[in-house]
């Protein structure tokens, strides 16, 4: 015997049965998502297949690992790969502390001036890289005269990545509840201890993501790297790939070099995801 209120039952029917709603999933959104993922991985799949080509024809034919051996045996390629990885690691080491400090300042320091500074820093995301590269080129070549070497590239990559790192960490800070800091202060913790023992542990996932973003921005940059590099010693992998654009068709070694670049950035992202998963597993074990 159904003792439910008939009026309430009619209202539930008008609102929709959850089981019926779960059956009618947003198929359009799913189709758009799968379509985007397919389109995103299609160039990578073709580059992987072309990098294993035995002839270099279009479409690729045969299978061979010789393009990878040829791409890695050259001294210029090895130097460029080392330069790209070095720039990425230095960029992470510089931008993550600065971006974290800026995010903490923007979150906790009141006043209109700090809001304007926050807007100015985040506006760096919207600045075209070519404009930023030309400004840095003029400053380093004619004003400061420090030379167009690795030092200039580090400054350029760091300046380009700081707004992105700040934004990632600031979003995480905004999502945290204020009462956690207030409780720590009520227990007598000074501001430095609140940051070190309360905020930084909770910012761990955001810092890991920001590190991966900073490394990827630096590793994949070509505009600033090319503008701020005069000798051949500071060439990067994207610069080598761009240097071969005059060919009618990219060669299999060029595709192999592109695949290796994707593999490096993917490995950095995988390490970040693994660190996040391990941190969550430890937190669940403690809870």
CA dist 149 and 20 (Å) reads: 63
CA dihedral 85, 236, 216, 254 (to 10 degrees): -110
Residue 271 lies in a domain: no
What number is the average pLDDT over the span 50-72?
Answer: 82
Residue 169 lies in a domain: yes
More confident residue, 157 or 52: 157
CA dist 96 and 25 (Å) reads: 40
On average, the pLDDT of the chain sits at 82
Classify burial at 143, counting beta carbons within 10 Å of its beta carbon; exposed 0-12, middle 13-18, buried 19 or more. Answer: exposed
Residue 100 lies in a domain: yes
State the pTM of this model: 0.79
Q: Max alpha carbon distance in the chain (Å)?
A: 89
CA dist 225 and 85 (Å) reads: 13
What number is the average pLDDT over the span 259-286?
Answer: 79
Residue 18 lies in a domain: no
57 pLDDT higher than 90: no
More confident residue, 22 or 179: 179
pLDDT value of position 284: 62
Residue 72 lies in a domain: no
User: Tens digits of per-residue pLDDT, 109-165?
Assistant: 877 777 888 888 888 888 888 998 999 999 888 888 777 888 999 999 999 999 999
pLDDT value of position 195: 81
83 pLDDT higher than 80: yes
User: Tens digits of per-residue pLDDT, 216-244?
Assistant: 999 999 999 999 988 767 889 888 888 75
Classify burial at 49, counting beta carbons within 10 Å of its beta carbon; exposed 0-12, middle 13-18, buried 19 or more. Answer: middle
User: Tens digits of per-residue pLDDT, 1-36?
Assistant: 444 555 555 554 555 555 554 545 678 888 999 999
Identify whether the C-beta of residue 234 lies closer than 8 Å to the C-beta of residue 83.
yes
Contacts 24+ apart (CB under 8 A), 193-202: 195/104, 199/104, 199/173, 200/100, 202/172, 202/176
pLDDT value of position 98: 95
Residue 168 lies in a domain: yes
Range name among 147-161, 175-189, 249-263 with the lowest pLDDT average: 175-189
Residue 13 lies in a domain: no
Q: Domain total for the chain?
A: 1
pLDDT value of position 111: 75
Structure tokens of 238? 């994207």
pLDDT value of position 193: 82
- Contacts of residue 202, defined as CB under 8 A and 6 or more positions apart, other chains included, come to 172, 176, 180
245 pLDDT higher than 80: no
Which CATH number goes with the domain that contains 186? Answer: 1.10.3720.10
pLDDT value of position 1: 45
Q: Alpha helices, DSSP H only, in the chain?
A: 6-15, 18-23, 27-51, 66-73, 75-108, 112-122, 129-138, 150-175, 178-186, 191-194, 200-202, 204-220, 223-227, 237-243, 252-286
Residue 197 lies in a domain: yes
- Residue of 181, 157, 143, 137 lying closest to 88 (CA atoms): 157
Can you give the residue range of the structural domain that contains 200? Answer: 77-238
């Amino acid at each position: 015997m159904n003792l439910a209120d008939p009026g309430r039952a009619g209202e539930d029917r008008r609102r929709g049965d959850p089981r019926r709603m779960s059956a009618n999933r947003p198929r359009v959104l799913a189709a758009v998502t799968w379509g985007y993922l397919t389109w995103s991985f299609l160039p990578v799949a073709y580059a992987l297949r072309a990098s294993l080509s035995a002839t270099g024809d279009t479409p690729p034919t045969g299978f061979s690992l010789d393009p990878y051996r040829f791409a890695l045996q050259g001294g210029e390629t090895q130097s460029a790969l080392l330069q790209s990885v070095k720039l990425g690691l230095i960029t992470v080491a510089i931008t993550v502390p600065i971006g974290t400090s800026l995010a903490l300042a923007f979150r906790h320091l009141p006043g209109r001036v700090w809001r304007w500074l926050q807007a100015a820093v985040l506006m760096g995301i919207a600045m075209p890289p070519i404009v930023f590269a030309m400004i840095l080129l003029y400053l380093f070549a004619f004003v400061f005269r420090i030379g167009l070497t690795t030092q200039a590239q580090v400054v350029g990559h760091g300046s380009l990545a700081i707004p992105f790192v700040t934004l990632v960490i600031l979003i995480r800070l905004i999502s945290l509840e204020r009462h956690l800091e207030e409780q720590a202060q009520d227990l007598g913790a000074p501001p430095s201890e609140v940051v070190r023992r309360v905020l930084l542990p909770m910012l761990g996932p955001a810092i890991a993501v920001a590190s991966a973003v900073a490394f990827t921005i630096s590793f994949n940059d070509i505009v600033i790297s090319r503008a701020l590099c005069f000798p051949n010693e500071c060439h990067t992998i994207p610069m080598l790939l761009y240097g071969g654009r005059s060919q009618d068709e990219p060669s299999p070694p060029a595709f192999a070099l592109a695949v290796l670049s994707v593999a490096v950035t993917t490995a950095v992202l995988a390490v970040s995801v693994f660190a996040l998963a391990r941190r969550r597993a430890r937190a669940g074990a403690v809870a």
